[in-house]
Structure 1
Amino acid sequence: MNAAAILLSLLFGTAAVMTVALTVAWLHFGRQRHVLTWTASYAMGMVQWTANACGFFLKSPGWFIVTGVGLIISGSLLAIGIRQRSGKPLRLAGFVVPAMLVILAMAFAIGPVGSQIMQGLIIPAYVGGLLAVSAVSLWPRDRSFTPPELVFFLALLAFVIVQFALAGSAMLIRGPEIGKDLYRLIFSIFMPTIYVATAVTAVLVVAGDLAQQLRTQMRHDPLTQVLNRRGLDEAAGRAMALARRQSLPLALVVCDLDGFKALNDGHGHIAGDQALKGFAQLLTSAVRRGDVVGRMGGDEFGLLLMNSSAAAAAEVMERVRVEVGHLALPGFPDVWLRASFGVAEMTAADTQLEDMVARADAALYAAKKDGKDRISIWQEAA
Structure 2
Amino acid sequence: MIQEANPKSRKHLTKSKLMVSAIQKPLPPGSTIGILGGGQLGRMLSLAASRLGFQCHIYDPEWAGPAAKVSRFESNTSYENIEAVLSFAQACDVVTYEFENVPSLTAKTAANARSLHPNANVLNIAQDRFSEKTFIRDKAKVPVAAFEPVNSVHDLKRATKKLGLPAVLKTRRFGYDGKGQSIIKSENDIPVAWDVMKGAPAILEAFIPFKREVSVIAARSFTGETAAYPLIENVHQNHILHKSLAPAENDDGRAQGLAVQIMSALDYVGVMATEFFELEDGTLLVNEIAPRVHNSGHWTQDAGCIDQFELHIRAICGWPLGDTSPKSKMEMTNLIGEDISHWESLAQEPKTFLHLYGKRDIKPGRKMGHVNRIIG
TM-score strictly above 0.5: no
What is the TM-score normalised by the length of structure 1?
Answer: 0.20
Q: With CA pairs under 8 Å and 6+ residues apart, which has the higher RCO, 1 or 2? A: 2
What is the TM-score normalised by the length of structure 2?
Answer: 0.20
